């Protein structure tokens, strides 16, 4: 038996044991845990263009998502998801679903707002996965804009997380991702530092986020124009940076959201 198969078998035993003990439990889905490629590709042409590469890298599929969700649902778990992950749920499986924003511990992120008078702004892109982040589109946009504007571009890769955060904190503009149609932890960290963030939010999700979402929405086709608008306007960078920090304080503060989690735990009987 392979290590992966053994781990899977042990996981099923754990879940069956929890069900036998009638212990209330909750599972939270993040990242690629239950992502269904066909669902994301249905209304996201940028994801559709890398669909095969994404599946090869992650191994995610409709069948795998259903199998994994069924495993936990049959064990009696309640379910927590963020706004963007809700689209991948099989609602008929779950007895209870809660939507909770991703959390960030704000004292660890001291805001450093962009200097409106900066003559050579710093643009940072930190791709954990260049294909999924749309890094090729970012580099293309940067190369085109370098012909017209004087700015520093930092591509963060193979860098320890603490060092990557230090670079992010110095940025004037953070350019995140342009394939998956949602924002996640990298955007949150940049907003917590008070940075304007450029990221692709697909239309079907945009309407589900709070109306004061400060992320500058761009896609691979208009990224040059969107990035140019921020490079030209230091005051705008500063104002969006201020709104970004306020947004994270309002919706993603781990201390505030802990109260919501406590309520959930009490409701399911933990």
Same domain as 173, residue 144: yes
pLDDT of residue 269: 83
Is the domain of 142 the same as that of 42? no
* 98 and 110 co-located in one domain: no
Q: What is the mean pLDDT of each run of 10 residues along the chain (270 residues)?
A: 37 65 84 92 95 89 94 92 96 94 97 97 95 96 97 95 96 97 96 98 96 98 98 98 98 97 89
Q: Are 88 and 197 found together in one domain?
A: no
Residue 7 has a pLDDT of 40
What gap in Å lies between CA 198 and CA 178, rounded to an integer?
9
Domain that holds residue 235: 106-251
The CATH number of residue 115's host domain is: 3.40.50.2000
247/262 same-domain check: no
Read off the pTM. Answer: 0.91
Q: What is the pLDDT at residue 152?
A: 98
- pLDDT for 175 equals 98
Looking at the fold, whether 207 and 94 belong to one and the same domain comes out as no
**Contact present, 78 and 60 (Cβ < 8 Å):** no
Tell whether 129 and 234 lie within a shared domain.
yes
Q: CB of 232 within 8 A of CB of 210?
A: no
Q: How far apart are CA 246 and CA 259, in angstroms?
A: 19
Q: Domain check: are 204 and 128 in the same one?
A: yes
Q: Are residues 43 and 153 in the same domain?
A: no
What number of residues does the chain have? 270
Alpha-carbon distance of 114 to 194, in angstroms, equals 8
Same domain? For 244 and 262 the reply is no
Structural domains of the chain, count = 2
């Amino acid at each position: 038996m392979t290590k992966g198969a053994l781990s899977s078998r042990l996981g099923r035993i754990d879940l069956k044991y929890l069900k036998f003990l009638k212990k209330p439990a909750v599972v939270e889905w993040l990242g690629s845990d239950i992502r269904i490629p066909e669902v994301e590709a249905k209304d996201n042409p940028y994801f559709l263009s890398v669909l095969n590469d994404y599946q090869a890298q992650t191994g995610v599929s409709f069948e795998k998502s259903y199998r994994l969700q069924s495993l936990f649902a049959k064990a009696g778990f309640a379910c927590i998801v963020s706004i963007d992950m809700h689209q991948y749920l099989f609602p008929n499986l779950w007895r209870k679903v809660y939507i909770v924003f991703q959390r960030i511990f704000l004292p660890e992120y001291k805001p450093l707002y962009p200097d409106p008078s900066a003559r050579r702004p710093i643009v940072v892109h930190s791709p954990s996965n260049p294909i999924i982040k749309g890094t090729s589109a970012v580099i293309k946009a940067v190369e085109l804009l370098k012909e017209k504007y004087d700015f520093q571009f930092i591509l963060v890769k193979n860098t320890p997380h603490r060092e990557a955060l230090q670079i992010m904190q110095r940025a004037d503009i953070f350019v995140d991702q342009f394939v998956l149609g949602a924002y996640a932890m990298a955007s949150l960290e940049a907003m917590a530092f008070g940075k304007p963030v450029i990221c692709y939010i697909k239309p079907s999700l945009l309407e589900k986020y709070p109306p004061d979402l400060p992320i500058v929405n761009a896609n691979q086709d208009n990224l040059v124009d969107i990035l140019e608008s921020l490079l030209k306007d230091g005051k705008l960078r500063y104002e969006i940076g201020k709104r970004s920090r306020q947004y994270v304080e309002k919706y993603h503060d781990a201390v505030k959201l802990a109260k919501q989690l406590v309520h959930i735990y009490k409701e399911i009987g933990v």
